[in-house]
């Protein structure tokens, strides 16, 4: 089958969808930081996000009516594990890290997930890492070091927050490493909706164990930000990216999505008055170059 020309309406729509998905994903950290200006903790905010996002997913799921046969027990167990890794632990570490880490730095650290995915894939599959990919990995981590040096030297970000965002990245990379085989068996949307349901149940359980129900009585702006995070930074970009990949393919969609860190940095500058030093801009460019090189090879 020949590749769709770049002038085709479907191709243009795919590019637009991929761009809007990238904007949605990039905005998450901004809205989280805005919500933190009010009296709300990370666990409560994340619980609100998932509780508000889940009904939207299930409404879309019911409207599709194309789930297919019941899942095998093996796939159900994988859904539980991957739901805990990808949407519970990864999001929990991320939201906790954002308490002390800037939105720009958080997004750059999270952008390292393809490099961890390559490392995990090589580890579990027992395949060697080529010199080309190894060089790209070194480039990525060298760039991240350049990004981190000014923040750590000036105490702008706590080590604990940076560690939490790294743990979020590792958790998400494990999710990406193990999910393709399950997605191939049950379908991408069914997989995503199931994994998100698992994470919502886990997060609500976590909240009820650690917080009184009265903790949900947060200021109205927090509810608004939580709703925006659920819709604009979760539900919409997930479906928009899926639709984009169907029209332009996963590689092109991934390349377009790689503008996410730059979008977050500019949104952080515009909305949160965050700033990067010249050394951090250099580090950000090096990180993106290394990650794109790894992603292309992957």
pTM of full prediction above 0.95 = no
CA 199, chain centre distance (Å):
14
Is there a contact between 185 and 77 (Cβ–Cβ < 8 Å)?
Answer: no
Two tokens, residue 295: 């992603």
- Joined together, the tokens standing for residue 180 give 């393709």
Please name the residues in contact with 16: beta carbons below 8 A apart, sequence gap of 6 or more.
none
What pLDDT score does 208 carry? 96
Sign of CA dihedral 134, 139, 140, 141: positive
Residues in CB range of 233: below 8 A, 6 or more apart: 24, 25, 27, 28, 31
Cα(165)–Cα(97) distance, rounded to whole angstroms?
A: 5
**Could you tell me if 258 and 292 are in contact, meaning their C-beta atoms sit under 8 angstroms apart?**
yes
Rounded to the nearest 5 degrees, what angle is found at the Cα of 254, between the Cα atoms of 130 and 15?
150
Task: For the chain, 298 residues long, give each residue's pLDDT as a single digit of tens.
Answer: 444 455 566 788 888 888 898 899 889 999 999 999 999 999 999 999 999 999 988 888 787 766 677 888 999 999 999 999 988 999 999 999 999 888 888 988 888 887 888 888 888 877 777 777 777 778 777 877 777 776 665 555 577 888 999 999 999 989 888 888 888 888 878 888 888 899 999 999 999 999 999 999 999 999 999 999 999 999 999 888 878 877 887 667 777 777 788 888 888 888 988 887 787 788 788 877 777 776 665 4
- Quickly tell me which residue has 């393919």 as its tokens: 249
Name which of 273, 218, 220, 295 is nearest 41 in CA terms: 218
Structure confidence at residue 41 (pLDDT): 96
Q: What pLDDT is attached to residue 260?
A: 81
Tell me the residue length of the chain. 298
DSSP state, residue 71:
P
Q: Name the CA dihedral angle for 249, 121, 183, 96, rounded to a multiple of 10 degrees.
A: -100
pLDDT at 250: 65
* Residue 64: CB atoms within 10 Å: 11
Helix (H, G, I), strand (E, B) or coil at 39: coil
192 vs 61: CA distance, rounded Å: 10
């Amino acid at each position: 089958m020949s590749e769709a020309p770049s002038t085709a309406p479907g191709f243009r729509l795919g590019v637009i969808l991929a761009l809007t998905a990238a904007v949605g994903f990039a905005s998450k950290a901004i809205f989280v930081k805005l919500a933190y200006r009010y009296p709300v903790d990370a666990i409560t905010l994340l619980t609100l996000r998932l509780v508000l996002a889940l009904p939207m997913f299930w409404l879309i799921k019911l409207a599709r009516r194309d789930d297919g046969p019941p899942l095998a027990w093996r796939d159900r167990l994988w859904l539980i594990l991957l739901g805990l890794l990808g949407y519970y632990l990864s999001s929990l570490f991320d939201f906790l890290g954002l308490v002390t880490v800037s939105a720009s730095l958080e997004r750059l650290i999270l952008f390292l997930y393809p490099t961890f995915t390559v490392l995990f894939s090589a580890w579990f599959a027992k395949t060697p890492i080529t010199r080309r990919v190894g060089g790209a990995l070194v480039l990525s981590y060298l760039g991240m070091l350049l990004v981190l040096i000014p923040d750590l030297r000036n105490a702008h970000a706590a080590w604990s927050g940076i560690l939490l965002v790294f743990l979020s990245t590792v958790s998400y990379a494990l999710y990406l490493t193990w999910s393709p085989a399950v997605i191939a068996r049950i379908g991408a949307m069914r997989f995503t909706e199931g994994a998100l349901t698992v994470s919502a149940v886990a997060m609500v359980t976590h909240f009820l164990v650690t917080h009184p129900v009265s903790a949900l009585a947060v200021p109205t702006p927090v509810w608004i930000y939580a709703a925006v995070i659920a819709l604009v930074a979760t539900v919409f970009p997930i479906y928009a990216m899926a639709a984009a990949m169907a029209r332009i393919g996963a590689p092109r969609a991934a390349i377009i999505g790689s503008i996410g860190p730059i979008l977050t940095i500019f949104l952080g500058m515009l909305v949160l008055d965050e700033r990067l030093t010249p050394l951090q801009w250099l580090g950000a460019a090096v990180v993106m170059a290394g990650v794109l090189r790894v992603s292309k090879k992957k």
